[in-house]
Amino acid sequence: MIIWGSSFAVTKESVNNVPPIFFALVRMSIASVILLIAAQTRGGISKIPRPIPWMIILLMGLTGTCLYYICFNTAMVYTMASMGALIQSFIPVVTVILAFIFLKEPVSVKKLVGIGISIAGVLFIIFMAAPSGKAKNPLLGNLLMLASVFIWATYTILAKRVAHIDPIMVTAYSIALGTLFLIPVAFIELSGKPFPKLSSQSWLSAIYLGAISTSIGLLLYNRSLKYLEASQTASFLNLMPVIGVSTAVIFLGEHLTLWQVFGGALVLTGVFISIKK
């Protein structure tokens, strides 16, 4: 979560200079190479139990890699990194809802109260934002970030279904497939435009996000699903917005309104209520 929290500021700074979906493709290509090498050292496809759940792995790539980063990176073009981080804190609540629907994990009255509080907080964050130099269309950006929340919660539910398989294998092949899905979308984004040239800083950002944030972060996240319920794993996402807001304020000079801070506090309070045993 500490690694992922820092990714908001790094991504925000990068998509100011590089087309967002193309940057996602570069990032995930780096991650794919690293993870496929790691998977091969552990035996590759031959070590995955039969029958191989290719449909679930394919859907994980479509959601957790392709659709998620399309929404996430594009959102960073229009909104602030700090607001994006606060909206991402809504993931545990959405995961609770989806875990109840698809994994039959129980939802108590207390969880429903927490869900309601978090929803109120997200609405404050989204609709109390005003355009600024660092957020040219915060409403659009915040809605795209909210879409990424639902996509990531879906990914978590899918990952839980294959938690018994070596997480390196699952992560490597799902990201590789998701990266292939990104290729045509990135070329559509670049249609009629000159091919982008990445600066040394953009390359460093892509390497950090691909090798550290994506590769190591996702391996740790998927590994945790072996030992925790999907909703418990998602509860650790509470750390991510705290780190995300802090890095955005310190390194990008962003500022949140009191209403947005209040909304973030409501989201985290609702998550705490809905997740706490």
**Helix H segments across the chain?**
2-15, 20-41, 54-60, 68-78, 81-88, 91-102, 109-127, 138-161, 167-189, 200-207, 217-224, 230-235, 239-252, 258-275
> Residue 172 has which token pair?
């490597």
Q: Which of 20, 143, 30 is nearest to 70 (CA)?
A: 20
Neighbours of 164 (CB within 10 A): 11
Helix (H) or strand (E) holding 277: none
Q: What is the pLDDT of residue 186?
A: 95
Q: Please, what are the averages of pLDDT over each run of 10 residues along the chain (277 residues)? A: 89 92 96 92 80 91 95 94 85 80 78 83 77 82 92 88 83 94 95 89 94 86 75 70 86 83 83 71
CA dihedral 129, 94, 167, 27 (to 10 degrees): -20
Q: What is the pLDDT of residue 70?
A: 96
- Report yes or no on whether pTM surpasses 0.75: yes
Burial of 244 from C-beta contacts in 10 A (0-12 / 13-18 / 19+): buried
Q: What is the pLDDT of residue 234?
A: 62
Domain ranges of the chain: 2-275
Q: Could you tell me which residues come within 8 angstroms of residue 71 by beta carbon, excluding any fewer than 6 positions away? A: 144, 145, 147, 148, 151
SS (H, E, C) 129-145: CCCECCECCHHHHHHHH
Q: What is the pLDDT of residue 268?
A: 80
Q: How far apart are CA 18 and CA 253, in angstroms?
A: 20
> Residue 211 has which token pair?
């090798």
Q: How far apart are CA 214 and CA 35, in angstroms?
A: 10
pLDDT tens for 82-128 read 888 888 878 877 887 888 887 777 777 887 888 888 888 888 787 77
Burial of 181 from C-beta contacts in 10 A (0-12 / 13-18 / 19+): middle
Burial of 54 from C-beta contacts in 10 A (0-12 / 13-18 / 19+): exposed
